[in-house]
Chain A
Amino acid sequence: MSIRQLIVNGNDVKCDDGLTVSQLLIDQKAKMPEMVSVELNGQILRRNDFATTALKEEDGVEFLYFMGGGRGIN
């Protein structure tokens, strides 16, 4: 399989040709992938499309996390 160069969260990442967004989330060890929003080349991807969207050379991907708040740490 040929290798693709992506930009994930601002960093250069190499991945296999045809890798899907779902697989990328796993590969990149995204925390709680079922909660992550994904932006692909400037557009927010529908969650239903994660498993079927294959990534291409030079695609830019951002993982966007829910951040609410939390109790204090000491």
Chain B
Amino acid sequence: MEEVGGSGQKKLLSSKVLIIGTGGLGSPAALYLAAAGVGTIGIIDNDRVDLTNLQRQIIHHTDDIGKEKVNSARDKIRAINPDVTVQTYKTRATSKNISEIIRRYDFVIDGTDNFPAKFLVNDACYFEQVPFSHAGVLRFFGQLMTILPGESTCYRCVFHSPPPAGVVPSCSQAGVLGALAGVIGSLQATEAIKYLLGAGDLLTNTLLTYDALKMEFRKIRLNRNPNCPLCGRNPQITELRDEQQSVCDSKTK
């Protein structure tokens, strides 16, 4: 492809992408980054593969049940592309450890499934000045945006802080269509590759929303928020924090 070429492929090989969470979003993202030849892929995940994961976490297979997710993911990445160096972090990302991991990478993919983690990733990428792809999925809906810290609209510009405890739908009710997570996670990989190559227009200052039932994509323009507590005119958040867990979250990545 014109936008890639030999030099582009070399760029990808020398690039490092971190995926936080090898779940519904992280799985397809990791597979496509491996296939694209991104030279170093880091994965953070503290969980083991469970039967209930398999309907959407497609990097994990039935034979992997019980295995640590970082190992399961590493094996499939290497099976697709043995040239990829996989760096695994079997841990939960917290305010104590996330910064030193993030700063080793060129781009971060948020594959977390809970709100406190999403705010942590946003804040950590801001302080470390590492671009990242934010995304979330729920039932038949998904959304994503690309954030260039200090330059484009961040997650807190839009969502300020985690939702109040008890208001979030319970995890067993929420659910998500597996294929939908596949779409959004693949889009996250696309954004990562575009960033690394300097190709096309990134999804900055824009929320892409997907309604799988109506089969509609929308792009919502989101300007930076001067009142943002992180990147606004008068920042109130000047260091990382572990936001309070909301009621339904049983696991964090």
A interface residue numbers (CB < 8 A to B)? 9-10, 32, 34-35, 37, 39, 42-44, 46-47, 62, 64-74
When each residue 208-235 of chain B gets 1 if its CB lies under 8 Å from chain A and 0 otherwise, what string results?
0000000000101111010100000000
Main secondary structure of the interface of A (DSSP, over half): loop
Q: Kindly state the separation between the CA atoms of A72 and B171 in the bound complex, as whole angstroms.
A: 9
CB pair B175–A44 under 8 Å, yes or no, is no
The interface size of chain B toward A, counting residues with CB under 8 Å, comes to 45
Q: Is there an interface contact between B159 and A66, defined as CB atoms closer than 8 Å?
A: yes
B221 touches A69 (CB 8 A): no
Q: Which residues of B contact A46 (CB under 8 A)?
A: 227
Cβ contact within 8 Å between B164 and A72: no
Query: Whole-angstrom distance from the CB of A62 to the nearest CB of chain B?
Result: 5
20 more CB-based (< 8 A) A-B contacts, given A66-B159, A67-B141: A35-B164, A37-B159, A37-B160, A43-B225, A44-B222, A64-B158, A65-B143, A66-B163, A67-B136, A68-B115, A69-B25, A69-B113, A69-B176, A70-B137, A70-B171, A70-B175, A71-B171, A71-B172, A72-B54, A73-B55
- B159/A39 in contact, CB under 8 A: no
Q: Which of A10, A37, A43 contacts B218 (CB 8 A)?
A: A10
Please measure, in the bound complex, the distance between the C-alpha atom of A69 and the C-alpha atom of B178, giving whole angstroms.
Answer: 11
Selected A-B contacts with CB under 8 Å, 25 pairs: A32-B167, A37-B160, A39-B220, A43-B223, A44-B158, A44-B222, A44-B227, A64-B158, A66-B115, A66-B159, A67-B137, A67-B143, A68-B114, A69-B23, A69-B113, A69-B114, A70-B113, A70-B137, A70-B171, A70-B176, A71-B52, A71-B171, A72-B176, A73-B175, A74-B55
* B 17-52 contacts with A by CB, 8 A: 23-25, 52
Check A35–B53 contact: CB distance below 8 A: no
Given A46-B227, A69-B176, decide whether A34 and B138 contact each other with a Cβ distance below 8 A: no
Q: B residues within 8 A CB of A66?
A: 115, 136, 159, 163, 168
Cα distance A35–B163 when bound, in Å? 6
Closest-by-CB residue of B relative to A71 is B171
Report Cα–Cα, A33/B164, bound state, in Å. 12
A70 with B174: CB separation less than 8 A: yes
Alpha-carbon separation in the docked complex, A29 to B120 (Å): 31
Cβ-closest chain B residue relative to A32: B167
Q: Which of B102-119 contact A (CB under 8 A)?
A: 112-115, 118
Which residues from B are CB-within-8-Å of A43? Answer: 223, 225
- The reply to whether the CB of B192 lies closer than 8 angstroms to some CB of chain A is no
Residue B12 at the A interface, CB < 8 A? no
Residue numbers in A under 8 Å from B92 (CB-CB): none
B177 contacts the other chain (CB 8 A): yes
Contact B163 A70 (CB under 8 A): no
A8 vs B24: C-alpha distance in the bound complex, in angstroms? 30
Give CA–CA (A32, B222) in the complex, Å: 21
Compute how far the CA of A67 lies from the CA of B211 in the bound complex, rounded to whole angstroms: 12
Residue from A35, A39, A47, A69 in contact with B136 in the complex, judged by beta carbons closer than 8 Å? A69
Contact A64 B159 (CB under 8 A): yes
